[in-house]
Amino acid sequence: MFRSIPFVFLFLVVNTTIYSQQIYKRTLKLMGSRFDITVVAKDKIEADQFIDQGVSEITRIEKLISSWDKDSQTSNINNNAGIKPVKVNIELFDLIQRAIRISELTDGAFDISYASMDNIWKFDGSMKEMPSQDKITSSIKKVGYKNIVLDRENATVFLAKKDMKIGFGAIGKGYAADKAKELLINLGVEAGIINASGDMNTWGKQPDNTDWKVAITNPLNKENAFALLPVVNSAVVTSGSYEKYVILNHKRYSHIIDPRTGYPSKGIVSVSVFAPKAELADALATSIFVMGIEVGLNRINQLAGVESIIVDDKGDVHTSNNIKIDK
């Protein structure tokens, strides 16, 4: 369920005209990925102070949700799978609870327990044949969000199966973008963008009072953008499979794996989701790869304030009901 986001596909269009306030941007590596933090401020000193606060918040989130940090609460949950419940910070508890709700919404296409899967699929060019059905079946035997047991009264999380694991690779950067945005708004930053490797969250307007806009291009035909859309106090996330895939038996398989079956998704090369929060958009973008175009758009069309643009492996563009573009 991990994603790679080439920046050529989705980028913000920024008007850099100088007004009483200016746009300041810093690019850095956080959570193992590229982050671009943009704020509107009166001068560079003020902007740097704000951006430093945003970086601190993202770093805090990483320490909370990282499964690579052996001392994190997430690692503690995983280390006690099948053994005992683990008491956690209420913030992490709530994030896991929301993740389970998205699993229910997507019929398990999104599942943070995907981390339990064996790495039997290789997308580095070394894989020449399909894994056996036995290996695939074995790979997913510990996966299943219904085995994540929550106890709100005691703020505990219990993974019911031994060696079961959870991971936030398909939702963590979106959540970090949301929390950094929330913090900066509370600090008085009137406008800005948090771009977490393609998980973008915006608020306010540019100094000339125009909306932030995002240009989207077809990854199979990058010559021209087919859409230039405003992003108004909301998030847009793009998930792409066009750089990381394998071709077996003349079929193209994405690196995004269906946690229910153990097989890679196919037929879609990119998904963009517009939603009120990056956390939700992040999870849904991954889920649509797994659900497929028809089911994915049907699900999106049932959600208020959520829209999507899908590009299939033939280069054709599909949109949810409220997005109209010249295809």
Which of 315, 275, 316, 33 has the alpha carbon at shortest distance from 169? Answer: 33
pLDDT digits 0-9 by tens, 167-218: 999 899 999 999 999 999 999 999 999 999 888 999 999 999 999 988 887 7
Superfamily of domain 1-327: ApbE-like domains (3.10.520.10)
Query: How do the domains of the chain map onto residue ranges?
Result: 1-327
- Residue 38 has a pLDDT of 97
State in Å, rounded, how far the first CA of the chain is from the last one: 29
Tens digit of pLDDT for each residue in 37-70? 999 999 999 999 999 999 999 999 999 999 888 9
Helix, strand, or coil (residue 244): coil
pLDDT of 114 above 60: yes
